[in-house]
Structure 1
Amino acid sequence: MLHTTTTPAVRRRAFRDGLAADGLLRLPGAPNPLAARMIAEAGFEGVYVSGAVVSADLALPDVGLTTLSEVAARTTQITRVTDLPVLVDADTGFGEPLSAARTVQVLEDAGAAGCHLEDQENPKRCGHLAGKVVRPVEDMVRTLRAAVGARRDPDFVVCARTDAAAVEGLDAAIDRARAYVDAGADMVFAEAVSGPADIARFRAGIDVPLLVNMTEFGRSELVSATQLADLGVDVVIYPVTLFRLAMGAVADGLRALAAEGTQAGLVDRMQTREQLYEVLDYDAYAAFDDSVADFRGA
């Protein structure tokens, strides 16, 4: 009830242990804290805070318009309610290397288990759209060194995302990833790789945990979790899946409500009151309130 029962340090250690173990860590993107609770109940290994979702939730395109404060606030809301480790999309670090260093510390304070920083030029674009421009390797290396040097908890995971595969080719992206690992990155995020063959090449090219993105409507083939595990992938994110499902349902519901003048035909597609209260742990709140209200001091 109320808050997670684990500390950020415990969740960071759990994330590190998961990365060191065999098997795939699956992190759906949580569009809100309630979804984070549902992700845990469904048996996933972690929660992802997507920059694209934070932007879209604010009715903004994913072009670097959100701020560190907005991302950190959403992260704090989500880490409050889940015992799972939370990985955060920190875009390009919200500025130059000094800003990236501050970003790491702010996200540590927000309870995150780690974050990823990307090598796009500002203004950044969604990783699966055309028109991306990547920064010089040496600029990204400076950013990563600043980020790694700023963290206070050594278990906080700093992941380097490279968008170079779609811009410079896969070999260049792997070369960049190696330079980022040399700069101190704990994990590499290979963005917009096309399919299993490219994932296998990337996996063979680095010796740290590998993260891939199974987003819909993008450049990457949607590969099953079983196949990703067989390829040696350590972490898979599904950043916008739940948001797209929810907003698709919102659009359908609005059309039906406008056309029919009632939501009666939609009720069987809704989360029930009982199901919502179960996720919220409503009974525990009521029991706690009763215990306080009935308290009699000596």
Structure 2
Amino acid sequence: MADPALKLALTEKRFILAPGVYELISALIADTMGFPALYVTGYGTVASYLGIPDAGIATYRDMIERIAQIVARTKTPVIADADTGYGGLLNVRHTVQGYEQAGVSAIQLEDQEFPKKCGHTPNRRVVPMEDMVRKIAVAVDSRTSDDFLIIARTDARTGLGLAEAIRRGQAYAKAGADIIFVESPESEEEVREIAAAIDKPLLANMVNGGRTPLMPVETLKSLGYGMAIYPALGFLAHGQAVRAAYRDLLDNGVTTDAVDLYPFKDFNTLLGFEDVWSFEKTYAET
């Protein structure tokens, strides 16, 4: 079930900084570092599992199996992307119940048309506001615990303008969402306008290379934001590091000191090999 620590942090106005994780290596590393939450990014999870764009192709089953495994192997509260809820209202109910049963602490639902697209790419379209309000009502009614938080995201800014995005954020707050996520504002001033207009805990999406300028945590806190996610940081760092390491091998025929590697011994510890070795020492046949 949901970890009550996430809701408590939000209630006590302790800022929630959540790095993006997308498979077990990134999740295990982040879990050791003291973050108040981990954010399972749809973009990164789809990329690492299927190697395709985050464009509505991955299914509920694709996501829940990976999210559940991340929750099971980590101790930090998990926030998880659930796209549009993977269908209509009945799908939203099923998704909310499945994510909650998996131990997710907050679910993110968005108001895009199906098939959805990454929030920092073009040609996104949104459903009527009233349709999303009904989805939020279903999500709130479908959870079994108030510790399981509902994050309502609107993608209206890019196609319909900031005023419409704010109007939707206000409506989603009134519908019962615990956290409001206005996707891809395009300037620091727009980020400020959102904070001034919506009286609900707010999530800032800090995408490296995205449409929104990166802003320091202290600035976001001063504006009244309660949470910031960095969904792309992990997989962009991973991609750059792997490319550099493979290039070094290709160019030199051996790995050189130019490549900074995670120590193999430490990686064994991260994965829990000491427990395996201890078990074998106690029980394995000699």
Which interval holds the TM-score relative to the shorter structure?
over 0.9
Instruction: Report the CA distance between 1:32 and its aligned residue.
Output: 1.6
Q: In the alignment, is the contact (CA less than 8 A) between 2:44 and 2:235 conserved in 1?
A: yes
Q: What's the secondary structure of 2:160's corresponding residue?
A: coil
Q: In the alignment, is the contact (CA less than 8 A) between 2:23 and 2:45 conserved in 1?
A: no
1:135 to 103, 127, 134: 127
Q: How much is the aligned-residue C-alpha RMSD, in angstroms? A: 1.7
In the alignment, is residue 253 of structure 1 matched against residue 245 of structure 2? yes
Instruction: Report the CA distance between 1:187 and its aligned residue.
Output: 0.8
Q: Distance in 1 between matches of 2:275 and 2:41?
A: 30
Residue deviations 1:54-82, cap 9 Å, x none? 12111111111001111111111110121
Q: Corresponding residue for 2:20?
A: 29
Q: Distance in 2 between matches of 1:88 and 1:159?
A: 10
Instruction: Report the CA distance between 1:154 and its aligned residue.
Output: 2.3
Q: Distance in 2 between matches of 1:230 and 1:292?
A: 56
In the alignment, is residue 55 of structure 1 matched against residue 55 of structure 2? no
Q: Corresponding residue for 2:107?
A: 115
In the alignment, is residue 218 of structure 1 matched against residue 210 of structure 2? yes
2:79 to 87, 100, 125: 87
Q: Distance in 1 between matches of 2:55 and 2:26?
A: 24
Q: Corresponding residue for 1:183?
A: 175
Q: In the alignment, is the contact (CA less than 8 A) between 2:39 and 2:231 conserved in 1?
A: yes
Q: Distance in 2 between matches of 1:29 and 1:87?
A: 9
Q: In the alignment, is the contact (CA less than 8 A) between 1:195 and 1:223 conserved in 2?
A: no
In the alignment, is residue 235 of structure 1 matched against residue 227 of structure 2? yes
Instruction: Report the CA distance between 1:265 and its aligned residue.
Output: 4.2
Q: In the alignment, is the contact (CA less than 8 A) between 2:83 and 2:110 conserved in 1?
A: yes
Q: Corresponding residue for 1:46?
A: 37
In the alignment, is residue 200 of structure 1 matched against residue 192 of structure 2? yes
Q: Distance in 1 between matches of 2:191 and 2:214?
A: 12
Q: Distance in 1 between matches of 2:208 and 2:25?
A: 22
Q: In the alignment, is the contact (CA less than 8 A) between 2:71 and 2:103 conserved in 1?
A: yes
Size of the aligned set, in residue pairs, is: 284
Q: Percent of aligned positions with the same letter in both sequences? A: 36
Q: Distance in 2 between matches of 1:149 and 1:219?
A: 33
Structure 2, unmatched stretches of 5+, are: none
Q: Distance in 1 between matches of 2:192 and 2:282?
A: 56
Q: In the alignment, is the contact (CA less than 8 A) between 2:185 and 2:211 conserved in 1?
A: yes
Instruction: Report the CA distance between 1:194 and its aligned residue.
Output: 2.1
Instruction: Report the CA distance between 1:89 and its aligned residue.
Output: 0.5
Q: Corresponding residue for 2:98?
A: 106
Moved over 6 A (4+): none
TM-score by length of 2: 0.94
TM-score by length of 1: 0.90
